[in-house]
Amino acid sequence: MKQIESQLKNLRKIRPDKGFALMCREDLLSSTVVKPGIDLWRNLGLSLSLALTAMLVVFVAQNAAVSSYSIASLEKFEEETTLSRDQINITLAEINYHSDLASKTSMALSEAAAEGPSHLNQNLLMKEAESLKIDSAPDNVDILLDQVIL
């Protein structure tokens, strides 16, 4: 076991060619590597983009909320206006009714005051009956009615 391990250590003699090592080193160190500064700018750009997007989303969301709120408010306002209009119409109709009633009552009262309760006067009623000159019903009225009905 130890012998194998020590033999394996002999493989450490393997070394790269000096020419290769030098050329590879020069090539590596001259190759472009993303510098932290550039990366910082890239990160900054990314951060700004994200921030702008977030602001845009918030702005749009707020507008959407305001719009929906506005629409709801308008609908509510319209509903309230309709209700008010109906109430006003009802009130106007009531006013008209009461006004008409008041004028008729007033007229009746004026007449009553001027003529007195003449419609209840027995003499007046008799006079009116006489003025109508209603003849007494003929004797054969029952026969005539029966004929009409039958």
Partner 1 sequence: MLEDERNLIIRAKGGEAEAFGLLYDEYLPKIYRFVLLKTGHREEAEDLTHQVFLQAWRNIRNYDDRGYPFSSWLYRIAKNLVVDYYRRLRPNVSLEDCRVFPADEVDPETDLDLSRETEKLARAVGKLRDTEQTVVIMRFVDELSIKETAAAIEKSEGAVKLIQHRAIQKLKKLMTEEK
Residues contacting residue 125 through CB under 8 Å, at least 6 positions apart: 119
Q: Which residue's entry shows tokens 């002999």?
A: 10
* Using rule CB under 8 A, residue 10 touches partner 1: yes
Among 9, 113, 123, 138, binds partner 1 (CB under 8 A): 9
* Using rule CB under 8 A, residue 132 touches partner 1: no
Of residues 36 and 138, the one with the C-beta less far from partner 1 = 36
| Phi/psi of residue 117, nearest 5 degrees | -80, 60
Q: Which of residues 40-99 bind partner 1 (CB under 8 A)?
A: none
Size of the site for partner 1 (CB under 8 A): 28
| Phi/psi of residue 34, nearest 5 degrees | -65, 115
Residues contacting residue 77 through CB under 8 Å, at least 6 positions apart: none
Task: List for the chain the helix, strand, coil content (%; round to 5).
Answer: 85, 0, 15
* Using rule CB under 8 A, residue 150 touches partner 1: no
Of residues 14 and 150, the one with the C-beta less far from partner 1 = 14
* Using rule CB under 8 A, residue 29 touches partner 1: yes
* Using rule CB under 8 A, residue 14 touches partner 1: yes
Residue 8 CB, nearest distance to partner 1 (Å)? Answer: 4
> How far apart are alpha carbons 83 and 79 in whole angstroms?
6
Reading the block at residue 37, the tokens are 């500064």
Residue 41 CB, nearest distance to partner 1 (Å)? Answer: 14
Contact set with partner 1 (CB under 8 A): 1, 4-5, 7-17, 20-21, 24-25, 27-29, 31, 33-37, 39
